[in-house]
Amino acid sequence: MKLFLHSCFLTLIFFVPVLSQNTYNVVDFGAIDDGRSDASEAFSRAWAHACDDRFAAKIYVPPGRFLLHNANFEGYCTSPSIEFWIEGTLIASSTYDDSNYWIFFYKVDNLSISGGTIDARGHTLWDCKSKNNDCPFGPVSLVISNGYNISINNLASKNSKFFHIMINNSEKVSIRNATITAPEDSPNTDGIHTMDSNDLLITNSSIMTGDDCISISRGTTNLSIQNINCGPGHGISIGSLADVVNEKPVENISVSNIIFTGTSNGLRIKTFARPSNSYVSNVKFHQITMKDVNNPIIIDQNYCPGHEECPHENSGVKITNVQYVDIKGTSTNIEAVHFDCSLSNPCEQILLKNVKC
């Protein structure tokens, strides 16, 4: 602190220290940007230094193509915040195994992932699945698990082997300006999948996949989805629910300003026809545009993909307080709205207002 005396005035000037941010360039740890050399160890070393930093830290991925095998980034970190800044492209091996994930952030708080592209190169696994061979599900491209205060911004995800992005058991997560792409016939390539997580935002993104643009699974609460272009794909789905009897509910979901183009479904809630203590409550779909959607609005409590080994019971999932407001567009199916609710636990408080499909 410095003191300046000017006649009768005493001026106090405080110099507030600015917290520094240390940057860790993966190239400095041995990563080669040729798309052929395995950069996994270099990324791990960069993460270890950033995680152990006592100041805010940045991991920098410069332009180029960096081959990563299964990459596991774990907390608990000393650094108060970590920025994962990608200007290049992360590519996975074109082969596949029975791994559950490709890029995995576990127990990391105050993390931002920005820019760049991740390309999982899923074509080989898709081909295996198309031939009905004994194929694994494949790894999720990017998993956020047990995290708090996570932001994903301006990320492009291509050609996932399984889901593109999964948010699991996390809180306060935002995804903004994402571009997610996979061919229309690529199996199980959900764009964003949420489960057991609270306080989520997905906004201003384009999702074109072979499965759900966004799938909302058990235990998802306080989720806002805004300004999404979806299609091709299977639409936005809550479910499938009733995998097990004791399953966490889905509640407080807001879906607004969505454009569906050529999707097989628009707004869907799906549950298996078996006992469950779960429920779906307080859901609002509003300001939605459908363009040549096969099933614009659907509740299916007898869901059974492939119609094989169907439970043929009554779904125990209670669906209540669901609003469909200001929905317009075109349907390729003569039946634009279909509600198939549980016989033993029927839907309640379903509102349709200004729906024109």
Catalytic residues: 211, 234
Question: Which amino acid makes up residue 169?
Answer: N
Q: Cα(166)–Cα(174) distance, rounded to whole angstroms?
A: 12
- DSSP secondary-structure letter at 122? -
Q: Which whole-number Å values give the CA distances from 243 to 84, 272, 278, 308, 315, in the listed order? A: 35, 7, 10, 15, 11
Q: Cα(306)–Cα(253) distance, rounded to whole angstroms?
A: 28
Q: Cα(175)–Cα(151) distance, rounded to whole angstroms?
A: 6
**How do beta strands 89-91 and 348-356 pair?**
unpaired
Query: Which one, of 59, 62, 60, lies nearest residue 79 by Cα?
Result: 59
Enter the tokens of residue 156.
């492009």
Instruction: For residue 353, count CB atoms less than 10 angstroms from its CB and return exposed for 0-12, middle for 13-18, buried for 19 or more.
Output: exposed
**How do beta strands 179-181 and 221-230 pair?**
unpaired
- Please answer whether residues 42 and 70 qualify as being in contact, where contact means their C-beta atoms are separated by less than 8 angstroms: no
**How do beta strands 198-208 and 221-230 pair?**
parallel
Angle at 328 between CA 194 and CA 326, to 5 degrees: 70
Query: Which one, of 129, 65, 54, 57, lies nearest residue 92 by Cα?
Result: 65
